[in-house]
Amino acid sequence: MAAPASWATFHNTFPKALYPQETHSEVYRGRQYSIGSTSKSTTRSSLFNLGVYNLFPLQFESNEDSHLFLAPVDPLCLLTLLSVIDRDGLKLPTSSDVLVDSSSPHFNKKCSVSILSYQAALDDQLPILIEDSINTEAKQVLRKIHHSKLINTLNSSNLSNENELTFNLINETLFDLYTLFLLDLDDETLLKYYSLFHYNYTETMQSITILSKFFAKSVRLHLLKRNDFYVRNPDTFNYFSSVITPKYTKLAYQSERTKIINNGKELLSLLNSVLVTEKFWNGEKAGIVDFQIASYIYSFSYMSKYIPFFKELIDENNALIRHNSDVLSSFI
Dist. CA 45–CA 42, nearest whole Å: 10
* Band (44; pLDDT cuts 50, 70, 90): low
| Total-model pTM | 0.87
CA distances from 73 to 32, 266, 302 (A): 16, 23, 7
What are the contacts of 202-210 at 24+ separation with CB within 8 A?
Answer: none
* Average pLDDT over every residue of 232-238: 98
Q: At what angle do helices 209-225 and 234-241 cross, to 10 degrees?
A: 160
* Average pLDDT over every residue of 94-123: 76
Dist. CA 194–CA 53, nearest whole Å: 5
Centroid of chain to Cα 264: 20
* Average pLDDT over every residue of 67-72: 89
In 19-74, which residue ranges form alpha helices assigned H by DSSP?
Answer: 24-27
Q: Which is it for the CA torsion 186, 125, 170, 94, positive or negative? A: negative
Share of the chain above pLDDT 70, in %: 83
The pLDDT score that the predictor gives to residue 12 is 63
Degrees, nearest 5: CA angle 188-192-195: 110
Adjacent-strand bridge partners of 259: none
* Band (298; pLDDT cuts 50, 70, 90): very high
Centroid of chain to Cα 141: 26
Contact yes or no for 319/276 (Cβ under 8 A):
yes
Dist. CA 288–CA 282, nearest whole Å: 10
pLDDT digits (tens, 9 = 90+) for 258-273: 999 999 999 999 999 9
Task: Please count the other Cβ atoms lying within 10 Å of the Cβ belonging to residue 172.
Answer: 17
Which of 39-43, 134-138, 237-241 bottoms out in mean pLDDT, i.e. has the lowest?
Answer: 39-43
Helices (H) and strands (E) in the chain, counts: 15, 7
pLDDT digits (tens, 9 = 90+) for 133-176: 877 777 788 889 999 999 999 999 889 999 999 999 999 999 99
Give the largest Cα separation in the chain, rounded: 88
Task: Please count the other Cβ atoms lying within 10 Å of the Cβ belonging to residue 285.
Answer: 10
pLDDT digits (tens, 9 = 90+) for 185-229: 999 999 999 999 999 888 888 888 999 999 999 999 999 999 999
Dist. CA 87–CA 92, nearest whole Å: 13
